[in-house]
Chains A and B, each alone.
Chain A
Amino acid sequence: MGRRILFITTDQQRYDTLGVNGGFLSRTPVLDALAAEGIRYERCQPTSVVCMPSRASMLTGQFPTTHGAWMNGVPLAVDAPSVAENLHDVGYATALIGKAHFEPFMDPYGRYAENSLASLGVPTVEQDWFDGRRGVHRGFDYLEFATHGVMGPLHYAKWMNDNHPEALGGFYPVLDAQLNVNAAGGGDTGAPQVKFNDVPRGWYHTDWVAERTISWLERQASDQDWFCWMSFPDPHHPWDPPKSELGRVPWREVPLPANYPQSAREREALIDAKSRHWRAWYDGTLVSNYEAPAKWVPATMTADQVREVNALNAVEVELIDEAIGRVLRAVEARGWGDDVDVIFTTDHGEFQGDFGLLFKGPYHVDALMRLPLIWRPARSTKPAPSVVTAPVSLVSLAATFLEVAGQPAPAWVEGASLPVNDEDARTRSFESTVTEWDSALFGVDVHVRSVVTAGHLYTEYQPGTMHDGSEGELYDLGDDPLQRVNLFEDPSYAGVRGTLHERLLAHEDRPGERAVLGTVMAPV
């Protein structure tokens, strides 16, 4: 018997939404307790600030420019490396329950396995692509999928349509009639992607993911090793948690974020100090990410809308924390409590009002790039609680899972296993992490590379629709934790800039085999 692995992800969750990370809107006692017992990372970065590339990096241990799923809508190759496959091959039962998103959601031809599984009527199937070795799909031998609503072909949507059709109308319609991400406002303030949802809490996808996870765990033999990826679709927009829960965080009492100056002039001055595509999005003249509603103009957002979005987000975070608590109690009830490693993180962050913006895009600041990451090693290993301040990346997850399972990291893994404390980080040279952005959609292309060290966040914009390759951003994380002062052109930081530029060059020139970059098959 080895150590079992419960890998928990959320979608689009900021670092500062957890109590243990200084958050105060949500109560997150379960995650806070895991952090107190294990390792809390203070500077974890994604490889990309959108879902598909970031999630593919978790599975492959590779950067997007290596695994090839370089933007949303680009499917991860079916034969891409998968840590689940390696675990499957050494006898682990492997499951992914909730949001996967290695393949496009929008799939009118039904070409992707993720979208086909539920309609086949069973969560575990053998199809043409099943070769007897990779598990059902990508190394997982059990898959049950959910995403942010009740439309589409995934298991949760099918379950809701089959069992609770009367509740479907309570959910926010993610897409409008033109299949664009909906800009319609709701709630009390008319904020985009907000809706009061009459769905009973027990039918909402957060609880569904937890219940399906518990059901899978209950079917495992007591001595079975397992790797379970429990993946909550929240707190990603739309913000439509069960209305019954909204009293937890009254939006009128929510303070404005530290990085949301009330004065429009001050907000705009902050944005104008950054690369020009920030202001273009704020003014509604450039949309470079499909997931930000194209018909919504950030400059129109009111302070009350920021408060309401943050309140609803906080409610969703609390529901996730409670759902995790139920799953952990089920794990304890099976007698596995001392033998399970629990790793919690998310795929990327969310603006939530910072700089007057919502959602995400090619904007590499902490709102989108600083992620919650907690690793509670199995108690049987007698873990020493610690806080890691060194920069780490989600690209390290695959190697970490394999290390927990006692397996060597294969050559295709680009990230070393996570350090367990700062001394370990120093010894193994965890000095910087890189985040990539590439997008090309409807004639607009943006290419961004950022490197984060203990002291700085440095971004270069490569040539594209809005950039000529000479622009960038540099923030001193010690003096300017909110990343308001762009030091890119400051002569006194020329040395820092040169050093970080070299790190980005080294990233581009890193050794190893890279997949052919995939083709954009859908907007998401």
Chain B
Amino acid sequence: MASLRHEIRIAASADVVWGVVGRPESIPDWFPGVTSCNVQDNVRVITTRAGVEMPEEILTNDPLLRRFAYRITAPLYKFHLGVIDVIEIGADDSLCVYSTTAEPDVLALLIAGGTKDALDEIKRLAEQRAGG
């Protein structure tokens, strides 16, 4: 089991950042390499540019806590837990934390690599919305 974490400081309110990441169907907008997704109830299936389909179970989508948690349920994963936390620091200042825990370990690294770029995109979108 391996656990990795990336975080990014964003010049936008926590509500604006949550507005980017809080809708499960919005993931193709901010996760580089995710080209489409299908959401039904608490099941989301994403498709990547490499043609990989990954089914996910949404565990938490809490706008008050601003926490989104999910797990990838593809057979290759013995375990996966992904958590996005948006933490208010100031009026236009937030911290977005994307944590990945998975087994096999290599999968944690591969997913977390994607989440690093996703945070950059979340920041770009949120600051664009805050500025606009």
A and B together in one complex: yes
Q: Report the Cα distance A442→B106, complex, angstroms.
A: 9
Q: Does A115 contact B (CB under 8 A)?
A: yes
Q: Does B32 contact A (CB under 8 A)?
A: yes
Please state if A178 and B104 are interface contacts (CB–CB under 8 Å): yes
Number of B residues near A (Cβ < 8 Å) is 24
Q: Report the Cα distance A411→B54, complex, angstroms.
A: 45
Q: Report the Cα distance A108→B53, complex, angstroms.
A: 10
Q: Does A180 contact B (CB under 8 A)?
A: yes
19 contacting pairs across A/B (C-beta < 8 A)? A73-B113, A108-B50, A108-B110, A108-B111, A109-B34, A109-B114, A110-B50, A111-B32, A111-B49, A115-B50, A116-B49, A119-B51, A178-B106, A441-B109, A442-B105, A519-B113, A519-B116, A523-B106, A523-B110
Within 8 A of A (CB), among B76-129: 76, 104-107, 109-111, 113-114, 116-117
Q: Does A104 contact B (CB under 8 A)?
A: yes
**9 closest pairs, A vs B, by CB?**
A109-B33, A110-B49, A521-B113, A110-B50, A178-B104, A179-B106, A111-B33, A109-B48, A109-B114
Q: Does A387 contact B (CB under 8 A)?
A: no
Residues of A within 8 A of B54 (CB): 108
Q: Does B2 contact A (CB under 8 A)?
A: yes
**Within the complex, what minimum Cβ distance (angstroms) separates A154 from chain B?**
12
Using A111-B117, A178-B104 as known contacts, say yes or no to A522 and B109 having CB atoms under 8 A apart.
yes
Q: Does B64 contact A (CB under 8 A)?
A: no
Residues of B within 8 A of A109 (CB): 31-34, 48-50, 52, 114
Q: Does A64 contact B (CB under 8 A)?
A: no
Q: Does A38 contact B (CB under 8 A)?
A: no
Residues of A within 8 A of B49 (CB): 109-111, 116
Q: Does A303 contact B (CB under 8 A)?
A: no
Please state if B106 and A520 are interface contacts (CB–CB under 8 Å): no
Q: Does A454 contact B (CB under 8 A)?
A: no
Using A111-B114, A111-B117 as known contacts, say yes or no to A73 and B109 having CB atoms under 8 A apart.
yes
Please state if A179 and B107 are interface contacts (CB–CB under 8 Å): yes
**Within the complex, what minimum Cβ distance (angstroms) separates B103 from chain A?**
8
**Within the complex, what minimum Cβ distance (angstroms) separates B78 from chain A?**
9
**Within the complex, what minimum Cβ distance (angstroms) separates A294 from chain B?**
9
Residues of A within 8 A of B2 (CB): 442
- Secondary structure at the A interface, as helix, strand, loop or mixed, is loop
Residues of B within 8 A of A107 (CB): 50
Q: Report the Cα distance A519→B2, complex, angstroms.
A: 17
Q: Does A153 contact B (CB under 8 A)?
A: yes
Within 8 A of B (CB), among A42-89: 73
Residues of B within 8 A of A (CB): 2, 6, 31-34, 48-52, 54, 76, 104-107, 109-111, 113-114, 116-117
Q: Mark A385-396, 1 if CB is under 8 A from B, else 0.
A: 000000000000
Please state if B110 and A522 are interface contacts (CB–CB under 8 Å): yes
Q: Report the Cα distance A73→B51, complex, angstroms.
A: 21
Using A116-B49, A153-B50 as known contacts, say yes or no to A180 and B116 having CB atoms under 8 A apart.
no
Q: Report the Cα distance A441→B4, complex, angstroms.
A: 10
Residues of A within 8 A of B116 (CB): 519, 521
Closest residue of chain A to B2 (Cβ to Cβ) is: A442
Please state if B48 and A108 are interface contacts (CB–CB under 8 Å): yes
Most buried by B among A108, A116, A153, A180: A108
18 more CB-based (< 8 A) A-B contacts, given A104-B113, A109-B52: A73-B113, A106-B110, A108-B48, A110-B33, A110-B49, A111-B33, A111-B117, A178-B104, A178-B105, A178-B106, A179-B104, A179-B107, A180-B104, A180-B106, A442-B2, A522-B109, A523-B106, A523-B109
Q: Report the Cα distance A109→B32, complex, angstroms.
A: 7
**Within the complex, what minimum Cβ distance (angstroms) separates B13 from chain A?**
26
Closest residue of chain A to B103 (Cβ to Cβ) is: A178
Residues of A within 8 A of B111 (CB): 108
Residues of B within 8 A of A73 (CB): 109, 113
**Within the complex, what minimum Cβ distance (angstroms) separates A135 from chain B?**
22
**Within the complex, what minimum Cβ distance (angstroms) separates B65 from chain A?**
27
Q: Mark A511-524, 1 if CB is under 8 A from B, else 0.
A: 00000000111110
Residues of B within 8 A of A521 (CB): 109-110, 113-114, 116-117
Q: Report the Cα distance A519→B119, complex, angstroms.
A: 13
Residues of B within 8 A of A290 (CB): 106
Q: Report the Cα distance A441→B34, complex, angstroms.
A: 25
Closest residue of chain B to A519 (Cβ to Cβ) is: B116
Closest residue of chain B to A153 (Cβ to Cβ) is: B50
Using A108-B52, A111-B117, A180-B104 as known contacts, say yes or no to A520 and B32 having CB atoms under 8 A apart.
no
Residues of A within 8 A of B6 (CB): 519
Please state if A520 and B113 are interface contacts (CB–CB under 8 Å): yes
Within 8 A of B (CB), among A92-125: 104, 106-111, 115-116, 119
Q: Mark A169-182, 1 if CB is under 8 A from B, else 0.
A: 00000000011100
Residues of B within 8 A of A519 (CB): 6, 113, 116
**Within the complex, what minimum Cβ distance (angstroms) separates B118 from chain A?**
9
Q: Report the Cα distance A520→B114, complex, angstroms.
A: 10
Closest residue of chain A to B113 (Cβ to Cβ) is: A521
